[in-house]
Amino acid sequence: MHDTRTNARRIPMSKTAFAARCTAVTIGTALLVGVAGIAMAEEGTNGDHDVAVNVEVTELSEPGVLAMTVAGTSTDLLEDGSTATVRQFTGALPTVTVTDTRAAEDIPADAAWYVLGTSTDFTGSAGQAPISAGHLGWTPDLLDGGESGQVSEGDQVDTVLDSGANAVGLVDQELLASAWNSGDIATEGQWTATANLFLRTPATVAAGDYTANLTLSLFE
């Protein structure tokens, strides 16, 4: 299981921030180097020389792994769509990538993987009353489910201010994405998903900064 934590806070009156902290997040940074040309007394060249750059990539000798990464450490929820009685703050979950480098024959029959999300309550930075996790919902969005069509996104989870069977908030391991037969799709190797986040509170909520932790977990 891989856990990824995300925090969120609301910036004065109309902004909520939501931060992600993961035990296994890989962040790639490109390093760009600019080298200025050397001034020459005369223009021209004294000859070009090509250098062949070769690399041999060998087969992996170690067993493959099923892993999850998150493309970012924070996201902001900004006020959008509020009404006279309900304030709403929206944003996007950083892209979640599930990678499987295992050979299909190494995966147990009927194995399935799935990513779940659970949030803590929002805590105010100045002693405001907390906003319960039930006020945070999401709409999962499968960005790349592979060619097989066997990876699917979870259902929308509404908040306690909404109505319906899914109006519970992100309080207890809600489904972001899943694959119901890991071995069948292992050759695809990688899948990505995100979610539209929304925090809905009563209009009487106290102004200030708030922070919550959203834990994303990969299970099989």
Question: Residue 50: its pLDDT value, please?
Answer: 85
- Whether pTM > 0.85 for this model: the answer is no
Asked if residue 81 belongs to a domain, the reply is yes
Question: Residue 44: its pLDDT value, please?
Answer: 59
Question: Residue 154: its pLDDT value, please?
Answer: 98
Question: Residue 1: its pLDDT value, please?
Answer: 59
Q: What is the CA radius of gyration of the chain?
A: 23
Question: Residue 69: its pLDDT value, please?
Answer: 97
Asked if residue 195 belongs to a domain, the reply is yes
| Structure tokens belonging to residue 158 | 């509404």
Q: Is the C-alpha dihedral spanning 174, 180, 186, 189 positive or negative?
A: negative
Residue with tokens 């969005």: 141
Asked if residue 85 belongs to a domain, the reply is yes
Asked if residue 183 belongs to a domain, the reply is yes
- Residue 16's domain comprises 2-24+65-104+124-219
Asked if residue 110 belongs to a domain, the reply is no
What confidence tens digit (pLDDT) does each residue in 61-112 have?
Answer: 678 999 999 988 777 899 999 999 999 999 999 999 999 999 999 999 999 9
In this prediction, the residues of the chain whose per-residue pLDDT falls under 50 are 8-41
Asked if residue 134 belongs to a domain, the reply is yes
Reference 23, options 215, 219, 220; nearest CA is 215
Asked if residue 55 belongs to a domain, the reply is no
Asked if residue 196 belongs to a domain, the reply is yes
Which letter does DSSP use for residue 133 in this model? G
State the total domains in the chain.
1
The CB-side HSE value for 71 (13 A sphere, CA atoms) comes to 12
